[in-house]
Copies of this chain bind each other. A is one copy, B any other.
Amino acid sequence: MALKNPRADHYDRLETRAPKQREAALLAALPKLVAHAKRRAPGFTRILAQVDPAKIKSRKALATLPVTRKSDLTELQAMQRPLGGLNATPVAKLAKIFMSPGPVYEPEGRAKDWWRSARALYAGGFRAGDLIANTFAYHFTPAGSMLESGALAIGCTVVPAGVGQTELQVAAIRDLGIGGYIGTPSFLKLIVEKADEMKADISSLKKAHVGAEYLPPALRQAMLARGIRVTQSYGTADLGSLAYESLGPDGSVNQGMILDEGPLLEIVRPGTGDPVPVGEVGEVVITSFNRDYPLIRFGTGDLSAVLPGASPCGRTNTRIRGWMGRADQSTKVRAMFVTPKQVNEVVRRHPEILRARLVVEGESGNDRMTLKCEVKERPGGLAEAIVGSIRELTKLRGEVELVAPGSLPNDGKVIEDARKYG
């Protein structure tokens, strides 16, 4: 299963471009994308009303545009069915419309490999002629179609298995000699356990590509011990494939996830549109160059961070640390909602604060909240002034604790809920 020459084994030549070349190409495409979205997608006509597309030709300029968050979609879509006007291609010209819980509607266009999953599968060792079971659901949600279209683009033969019916899954792998699995890591575990229970020979299964949930390292190891090499990728129902793992010469999995060649990534401080320094955990914000659904600064609500350095597989794109949790840390304190946006508003009012983290503690009905602020200097009255801002912005009483720069954890959290439950 090891790739003979992994450094040469790339999906296309885009993957090995010089990073400067890639960055130049993305930035050159940016003004056209913004113009296209403004012209064709009524939602962006409104959102970007004040924006001159020709001026959006740098990351700095991009960072001035508003972030449209995944959490805004339900409201936007209720205002304008079905896609909140964020689609540049009219619904009648699309291939499919999906419906995820919320409900949130997501489009699929008519281009081949519209979700760009082929690149991720290829990096995971999937090749033309491979027979694979796609166990993502095809009903309502896009995951099944997303991975199927990529597998077909590579030239794999797909068994559209969907989720559930574990015994049937095992029977299909055994009868057909299926070599590849696509789905969630937890469902892979269920299938393998069911095969053991049925004493079914599923040794044909050699590779698995997983996503949509956390992959425990122990599960990856346990699968490898059975001869199944697991790679993962990260994507969303709105944007398609965003980043993926690659393989080393010995078949081992390289650290981190490599960005897809399509989208432009920013990592921002949760609740804001402000990019964080390289390495700091924040919210994944994507600008998608998809012509049908040109999302500009789309806040995924997912946490990740840039992983410095290049992947040993020869792909030159930025690496990220994969999915690190959800960015939306809105929480209720004494029956009032406190949001990352409010916390960031407090920080904005006091230039002395470098970084802040609101820690909520206490027992049910007796919540205490403390804003821990990294500061270099501590001018008199600063803490008291911040307390005043907290009260004004959250309508709640909060303590303030001034701490040294670098002493807050790097986990993307703006609000930490440290209360005991249950």
CA distance A96 to B144 in the complex (A): 13
Q: In whole angstroms, how far apart are the Cα atoms of A82 and B174 in the complex?
A: 11
Residue of B nearest to A172 (CB): B99
Residue A225 interfacial (CB < 8 Å): no
A92 touches B160 (CB 8 A): no
Q: Is A171 at the interface (CB under 8 A from chain B)?
A: yes
Question: Interface readout for A166-187 with B: 1 if CB under 8 Å, 0 if not?
Answer: 0010011001110000000000
- Asked if B158 contacts A105 (CB within 8 A), the reply is no
Are B162 and A81 interface neighbours, CB within 8 A? Answer: no
A81 with B144: CB separation less than 8 A = no
**Given A139-B139, A176-B97, A157-B81 contact (CB < 8 Å):** no
A175 touches B81 (CB 8 A): yes
**Given the known A-B contacts A103-B175, A105-B176, A175-B81, are A95 and B158 also in contact in the complex, defined by CB atoms under 8 Å?**
yes
- Count copies of this chain in the complex: 2
Contact B103 A157 (CB under 8 A): no
List 29 A-B residue pairs with CB atoms under 8 Å apart, sorted by A's residue number.
A82-B175, A91-B157, A91-B176, A92-B129, A92-B131, A92-B157, A93-B157, A96-B157, A97-B131, A97-B158, A99-B159, A99-B172, A99-B175, A103-B168, A103-B171, A103-B175, A105-B176, A137-B139, A138-B138, A138-B144, A138-B160, A139-B139, A139-B163, A140-B161, A140-B162, A140-B165, A140-B168, A144-B160, A145-B160
Contacts of A159 in B (CB 8 A): 96-99, 140
Please determine whether A138 and B157 come into contact, CB atoms closer than 8 angstroms: no
Determine if A94 is an interface residue (Cβ-Cβ < 8 Å). yes
Which of chain B's residues have a CB closer than 8 A to the CB of A383? none
CB-defined contacts of A128 to chain B, threshold 8 Å: 92
CB distance from A138 to the nearest CB of B (A): 4
> What is the bound-complex CA distance between A168 and B144, given in angstroms?
18
Bound Cα distance A144, B158 (Å) = 14
Given A103-B171, A139-B165, is A160 in contact with B98 using a C-beta cutoff of 8 Å?
A: yes
CB of A152 within 8 Å of the partner chain: yes
A122-146 vs B: 1/0 string, CB under 8 Å? 0000001111000001111000110
A165 to B139 CA separation, bound complex (whole angstroms): 10
Q: By the criterion CB–CB under 8 Å, are A99 and B168 in contact?
A: yes
Choose from B82, B137, B165, B172 the contact partner of A176 (Cβ within 8 Å). Answer: B82
- Chain A residues with a Cβ closer than 8 Å to the other chain, count: 40
A96-B176 contact given A131-B91, A138-B144, A171-B103, CB 8 Å threshold:
no
| Alpha-carbon distance between A313 and B272 when the two chains are bound, in angstroms | 62
Residues of B within 8 A of A176 (CB): 81-82, 91, 97, 105
User: Shortest distance in angstroms between A255's beta carbon and chain B's nearest beta carbon?
Assistant: 33
Which B residues touch A93, using CB under 8 A? 129, 157
User: What chain B residues lie within 8 Å of A105 (beta carbons)?
Assistant: 175-176
Interface readout for A92-120 with B: 1 if CB under 8 Å, 0 if not?
11111111000101000010000000000
Chain B contacts of A175 at CB under 8 A? Answer: 81-82, 99, 103, 105
CA distance A95 to B159 in the complex (A): 9
Cα–Cα, bound, A390→B117 (Å) = 62
In the complex, the chain B residue whose C-beta lies closest to that of A168 is: B140
> Which residues on the B side are within 8 Å of A171 (C-beta)?
99, 103
User: What distance in Å separates the Cβ of A126 from its nearest Cβ neighbour in chain B?
Assistant: 13
Chain B's closest residue to A135 (CB) is B139
Query: What are the residues of chain B within 8 A of A138 when measuring CB–CB?
Result: 138-139, 144, 160, 162
Contact yes or no, A95 B161, CB < 8 A: no
